[in-house]
Amino acid sequence: MTRWWAPAALLMLLGAAGCPGFGDKTLAELEGVETATWEADVQPILAAYCWRCHGQTVSNGAPNSLFTYEQAVAQAERILVRTVQQQTMPPSGSKPTDTERAQLEAWVAAGTPRGTPGPEMDAAPMPDMGVEGDAGVEADAGDLPERPTWDGHIAPIVELNCAFAGCHGGAEPEGNLDLTTYAGFDAGGDNGDLRGGGDPANSLLIDRLRARNGWSVMPDGGPMLPEMQIQVFEAWIAAGAPEE
């Protein structure tokens, strides 16, 4: 039986003295966030920051999935404490903004409402996670950067999806491939060079991003990156994989 009372009760206890570091006010009050629903607010936040580990298929040692509404409700207390209060989740990469954390807090305070599809969803569309609908879609040449670089285009994608402990970061990166720096990419890993001689068709990196030639998809466990992002990687490899 779902403990519907627990998230609200926990928030009341925390809110009685305000949130740590926020004085007498909760973060939601400070940010002016009064309401939030799963469909309009929470699902897009989890998709952007959590699904790389807590997705439909869990990976990187994640103990549970936060892919569905029911799964998120069951973990609402943990989401509140780890993401809003302690700010320890996600453990690396981009972090939710104060407004996004306030939306999570407001959602729990309101009893984890699901919301309704329609205009509410139009106002806060789901991030393009590349799960359905975009595979094989060719990007308009004008949409691709003229000269992709590691610093300007590749590193931000890698940081969000790969370059953290338990994957290609930390003290023991997977496959001895450290993607937290350009030097780590340049050195390659146990499976060798990633560049393919500057040809995306021969690049091990693109093999992993497209799950081709017998390789599983990277990020590990999926979903596959959006097609546009993969094409940026391909353009970068073709340009010689410049750092800056």
**Alpha carbons 16 and 173: distance in angstroms, whole number:** 42
Q: Is the same domain home to 214 and 164?
A: yes
Question: What mean pLDDT is predicted for residues 203-212?
Answer: 93
- Model pLDDT for residues 121-180, shown as the tens digit of each residue: 333 333 333 333 333 444 444 467 888 999 989 998 888 888 887 788 888 888 999 999
Q: Is the same domain home to 173 and 232?
A: yes
Q: Is the same domain home to 109 and 178?
A: no
- Name the band, by pLDDT with cuts 50, 70 and 90, for residue 67: confident
Query: Is pLDDT of 61 > 60?
Result: yes
Question: Which ranges constitute the DSSP H helices of 62-177?
Answer: 69-74, 76-79, 98-109, 119-123, 155-161
* Domain membership flag for residue 135: no
Q: Is the same domain home to 178 and 95?
A: no
**Alpha carbons 51 and 163: distance in angstroms, whole number:** 15
Would you give the end-to-end CA distance of the chain in angstroms?
A: 54
pLDDT at 118: 36
Query: Is pLDDT of 214 > 80?
Result: yes
Contact 168, 162 (CB under 8 A): yes
pLDDT at 149: 94
Question: What mean pLDDT is predicted for residues 48-71?
Answer: 81
Query: Is pLDDT of 74 > 50?
Result: yes
Give me the chain's average pLDDT, please.
78
Burial class of 101 by CB neighbour count within 10 A (0 to 12, 13 to 18, 19+): buried
- Model pLDDT for residues 82-109, shown as the tens digit of each residue: 888 888 888 877 789 999 999 999 999 9
pLDDT at 23: 56
From 123, 158, 186, give the residue that closes a domain.
123
Q: Is the same domain home to 118 and 155?
A: no
From 123, 154, 185, give the residue that closes a domain.
123
* Domain membership flag for residue 153: yes
* Domain membership flag for residue 243: no
Q: Which residues of 13-50 are buried (b: 16+ CB within 10 A; e: fewer)?
A: ebbeeebeebeeebbbbebebeebbbbbbbbbbbbbbb
Q: Is the same domain home to 147 and 213?
A: yes
User: pTM (2 decimals)?
Assistant: 0.48
- Model pLDDT for residues 166-186, shown as the tens digit of each residue: 788 888 888 999 999 999 999
Q: Is the same domain home to 119 and 151?
A: no
Q: Which residues pair with 138 in a beta bridge?
A: none
pLDDT at 54: 84
Q: How far is CA 113 from CA 41, 79, 128, in A?
A: 11, 15, 23
What amino acid is encoded at 106 in this protein?
A: A
Q: Is the same domain home to 26 and 109?
A: yes
* Domain membership flag for residue 182: yes
Residue 92's domain comprises: 5-123
**Alpha carbons 211 and 50: distance in angstroms, whole number:** 22
Query: Is pLDDT of 46 > 60?
Result: yes
Query: Is pLDDT of 43 > 50?
Result: yes
Nearest alpha-carbon partner for 75 in 40, 46, 100: 46
Q: Is the same domain home to 169 and 81?
A: no
* Domain membership flag for residue 136: no
Contact 237, 206 (CB under 8 A): yes
Q: Is the same domain home to 11 and 119?
A: yes
Number of structural domains, the chain? 2
Contact 105, 84 (CB under 8 A): yes
Contact 131, 125 (CB under 8 A): no
Q: Is the same domain home to 174 and 219?
A: yes
* Domain membership flag for residue 129: no
Q: In this predicted model, which residue has the larger pLDDT, 126 or 75?
A: 75
Q: Is the same domain home to 112 and 156?
A: no
Nearest alpha-carbon partner for 133 in 39, 226, 235: 226
* Domain membership flag for residue 131: no
* Domain membership flag for residue 171: yes
Nearest alpha-carbon partner for 209 in 184, 186, 235: 235
Query: Is pLDDT of 115 > 90?
Result: no
Contact 125, 199 (CB under 8 A): no
Nearest alpha-carbon partner for 158 in 94, 65, 210, 211: 94
